[in-house]
């Protein structure tokens, strides 16, 4: 006589534990700077686009706001938000050291911040009718200034860094089985 013993399905492995110690006040401040950087940058751009003469948000890149008499506002915006992002990278590193996303996450956030600073240090060239008197359309690349040429690398670097940040943290959340 054969006895069949029912078997239970194999248990699903539990999500890996990733307990993080409570951040110190300094780390909290660095992380808060990162939280503020994006909204501050966007709000500063939107306000400038609304109040500055000759700005057309539909056809002009936001970098053009760094030109003209009030251009210093956008330059400071690039620099300040870049420094806040770099600071947040240090906070992320402190919090996640030795854990998933603890290496590449901060590196890529810092790269994003550095690209923002780069965009503020190397000011773009006039284009698309801004400032007033500038011909419409994109200028011929052969006429770009050295700083305008260097500025052109900022946006792609920011974009690539942010894509990398999303991928690194998506992988972290998948490994921890947290939707993020």
Q: For the residues 107-115, what does the mean pLDDT come to?
A: 98
Give the model's confidence band at 133: pLDDT under 50 very low, under 70 low, under 90 confident, else very high. confident
- Which pLDDT belongs to residue 23? 87
Terminus-to-terminus CA distance in the chain, angstroms?
54
Is the pLDDT at 15 greater than 70, yes or no? Answer: no
Q: What is the pLDDT of residue 11?
A: 54
Assign 161 to helix, strand or coil.
helix
Q: Would the pLDDT of 21 be above 80?
A: no
Q: Is the sign of the CA dihedral 55, 57, 60, 61 positive or negative?
A: positive
Opening angle at CA 14, ends 9 and 19, nearest 5: 175
Stronger pLDDT, 78 or 141, i.e. the higher one: 78
Average pLDDT, the chain: 90
């Amino acid at each position: 006589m054969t006895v069949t013993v029912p078997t239970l399905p194999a248990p699903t492995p539990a999500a890996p534990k990733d307990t993080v110690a409570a951040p110190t006040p300094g780390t909290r401040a660095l992380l808060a700077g990162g939280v503020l950087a994006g909204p501050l940058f966007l709000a500063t751009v939107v306000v400038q686009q609304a109040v500055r003469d000759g700005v057309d948000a539909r056809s002009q890149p936001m970098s053009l706001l760094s030109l003209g008499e009030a251009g210093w506002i956008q330059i400071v915006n690039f620099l300040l938000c870049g420094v806040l992002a770099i600071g947040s990278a240090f906070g992320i590193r402190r919090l996640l050291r030795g854990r998933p996303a603890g290496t590449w996450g901060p590196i890529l956030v810092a790269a994003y911040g550095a690209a923002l600073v780069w965009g503020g240090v190397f000011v773009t060239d006039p284009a698309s009718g801004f400032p007033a008197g500038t011909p419409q359309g994109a200028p011929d690349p052969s006429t770009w200034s050295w700083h305008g040429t260097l500025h052109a690398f900022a946006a792609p670097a920011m974009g690539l860094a942010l894509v990398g940040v999303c991928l690194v943290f998506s992988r972290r959340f998948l490994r921890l089985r947290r939707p993020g």
